[in-house]
Amino acid sequence: MLAGLGFLAGCATRGASASSDQLVGFTPVPRTFPDGKHIVIANEYEYETFVPWGEPLTSGAPAWQWPPSASAQAQQVGIGHDGMTFFALDDSGQHGLLALNHEYGSNPAVLGVDTPTTLDQVRASQHAHGVSVIEIRQTNGRWEVVADSRLSRRIHVNTEMTMSGPVEGHALITNPAGNPILGTLNNCANGQTPWGTYLTCEENFNFYFGANSAFEPTERQARYGLTGASFYGWHTFDPRFDLSDPDYKNESNRFGWVVEIDPANPAEKPVKRSALGRFKHESAAFAEGRDGRAVVYMGDDQQFEFIYKFVANDDWRQTLSAGKSPLDEGVLYVARFDDDNTGVWLPLTLEQPKLAAAFDDQAEILLQARLAATLVGATPMDRPEWISVGPDGDAFCTLTNNTQRSVADAANPNAPNPYGQIIRWRDANQHVGTTFTWDHFLICDDIYQTEQSLGSPDGLWADPDGRLFICTDGRQFEGKPDQLVVADTTTGQLSRLLVGVTGCEITGLTTTPDRRTLFVNVQHPGNGDPAVTSFPAADDGKTVPRDCTLAVRRKDGGIVGS
Ligand code: FEO
Ligand code: CA
Ligand code: CA
Ligand code: CA
């Protein structure tokens, strides 16, 4: 573990930047845009692109070639860059491990075909998903991959893992095939712990499961979208992803978790932390609660799903000293937002009579967290995406949109809701309480309706000075590029820091500990179509665009966002 070494930017000293009346002092990118083929960034800033999809992780790995073979892709950076964390390896702030999620890549983008026709194509697609841990260093003002790192590694759909917590070893995650727990996928947003580990979140796992024979989902499978209709066609060659194969009948229960990765220890298997519940996890925002207890705020990104928090039983330092994980023993709560701007955290435990009646044990409750949350009366939300906790303890959550909402409520005030909102709450007892107060930080609008508007907020990071970095994921299919906006949480002022290329989503936020470099991702530029863009390569109409990371700096070396 990297305990104590530059855990995350949020640990940096508050007040290290410009005075508070100039918290966000850069000149915002105006609402007029050029051709959508270039990143547009504020005048005071510059960026470089690095670690694109297909970048070899080590000097011995195959060079990028499209479409990738399965074996090449397993040694290269994956696609679908999303949540990420920079873990410093020394005090310089110039050298560290970038743990980077690879959320998804469509078959046409990755393989050049709609449906795989060989097992090698299935494996190539599987290896394009998951997580990369990449040793990087800034040398002469450029960020580069350290060529012969012993720490860089790929974690993908076929990487061996373990599960811990109440669901470990349960009959409902055991298959007649006897296969080990393998892989993570649709790794969307993320989190990090103060003990130096990375949390990667499994979101839309249902899209990877198909059915080769007749298949009728149970009520519990249907609630998680497991209909047998696959976007990827893996099940044709890999029986793990065939819902109709009785030998793998519980494979889908092994996905939809938060997975903990020790980035500095390649020998350590990733661990699925079942105490945090199974749903379509978007992000896992760590907060240290009263008495040192680990708290993780989490969203379930689907229309009418919920916001959760896990509260550990004990001080995380004592738990670690006792040789246990702070993420294994605790209570999972789900949020109810009441009309009077108060709310209640409802525990998902067998002490709730409705849950005792519906489920056999705590493991079942965690496996079916969505159903449990409905039973206890949680508030269905407008697609919870990222959550971030600010320096004064306020938590912010992006509710990206909900075109299906027909009845508004206090927390989700627009029906339908095409543009989303950012909700904010403060726990009544330093993150471990059972009640909270809440309001809306921002009700969003169409993406560029005005100089001050943004729509479909998604990626989110509250920095230690009171800025809120907001990434958008909306309207790409109307040709409107997404953006990164910096908000001053005191004044509410919004300033556009950068605008992406056509077809891309801007996502993922992490900084070096000194906050002089901000890393942010360009996901699915041109939606994979070289006729739209070849980004980050120069446009030629035929070079396939590649997801990549931007390293963003102030030209004067100042703190990012200022
Ligand atoms: Fe993976 Fe909800 O975005
Ligand atoms: Ca997202
Ligand atoms: Ca989104
Ligand atoms: Ca997305």
Residue that is written with structure tokens 């004044």 in the block: 491
Only one residue has tokens 């966002």, namely: 561
Q: Whose CA is nearest to atom 1 of ligand 1?
A: 188
Q: Which two tokens stand for residue 201?
A: 């979140």
Q: What are 330's two structure tokens?
A: 């605790």
Spell out which residues have Cβ within 5 A of ligand 2, the ion.
385, 458
| Topology (CATH level 3) of domain 8-203+256-554 | Neuraminidase (2.120.10)
Distance from the alpha carbon of residue 18 to the mean position of ligand 1, in angstroms: 33
| Residue 34 pLDDT | 67
The per-residue pLDDT for 19 is 45
Give the distance (Å) from ligand 4 centre to CA of residue 49: 20
Burial of 156 (0-12, 13-18, 19+ CB in 10 A): buried
Residue 402 has a pLDDT of 98
Residues around ligand 4, an ion, CB closer than 5 A: 473
Query: Measured between alpha carbons, how far is 194 from 288 in angstroms, rounded to an integer?
Result: 9
Q: Is the CB of 201 under 6 A from ligand 1?
A: no
Name the one residue in this structure whose structure tokens are 């790995």. 61
Which residue do the tokens 């108060």 mark?
342
Report how far residue 448's alpha carbon sits from residue 537's, in angstroms, rounded to the nearest whole number. Answer: 27
300 lines ligand 1 (CB under 6 A): no
- The predicted structure's pLDDT at residue 194: 98
**By three-state DSSP, how is residue 287 classified?**
strand
**d(Cα 207, Cα 229) in Å, to the nearest integer?**
7
CB of 203 within 6 A of ligand 1: the answer is yes
Which ligand 1 atom sits closest to the C-alpha of 104?
Answer: 1
301: Cβ below 6 Å to ligand 1?
Answer: yes
Distance 202 CA to ligand 1 centre (A): 10
User: Could you tell me the distance, in angstroms and rounded to a whole number, from the CA of residue 469 to the centre of ligand 2?
Assistant: 14
pLDDT at 11: 28
- Which residue's alpha carbon is nearest to atom 3 within ligand 1? 188
Alpha carbon 325 to chain centroid distance?
A: 21
Q: What angle do CA 300, 203, 210 make, to 5 degrees?
A: 125
Amino acid making up residue 445: D
Give the whole-angstrom CA distance, residue 434 versus residue 432.
Answer: 7
| Nearest atom within ligand 1 for CA of residue 189 | 1
Does 188 contact ligand 1 (Cβ within 6 A)? yes
Answer yes or no: is the C-beta of 498 below 6 A from any ligand 1 atom. Answer: no
Q: How far is the CA of 301 from the centre of ligand 3 (A)?
A: 8
Over the chain (562 residues), the average pLDDT of each successive run of 10 is: 35 37 91 82 98 96 98 98 98 95 97 98 98 97 95 98 98 98 98 98 98 97 97 98 98 99 98 99 98 98 98 98 98 99 98 98 98 98 98 98 98 97 98 98 89 93 98 87 95 95 96 98 94 94 97 98 98
- Per-residue model confidence (pLDDT) at position 452: 85
* CA 519 – ligand 3 centroid, Å: 18
Collapsing DSSP to helix, strand or coil, 359 comes out as coil
Q: Which atom of ligand 1 is nearest to the CA of 280?
A: 2
Burial class (CB in 10 A: 0-12, 13-18, 19+), 426: middle
Which listed ligand is nearest to 504 at the C-alpha?
4
Ligand 2 centroid to Cα of residue 189, in Å, is 6
The kind and range of the H/E element at 110 are: helix 107-111
The closest ligand to the CA of 281 turns out to be 1
Ligand 1 atom with the shortest distance to the CA of 473? 3
Q: Please tell me the distance between residue 473's alpha carbon and the centre of ligand 4 in angstroms.
A: 6
User: In 3-state terms, what secondary structure has residue 552?
Assistant: strand
Tell me, what's the pLDDT at 475? 84
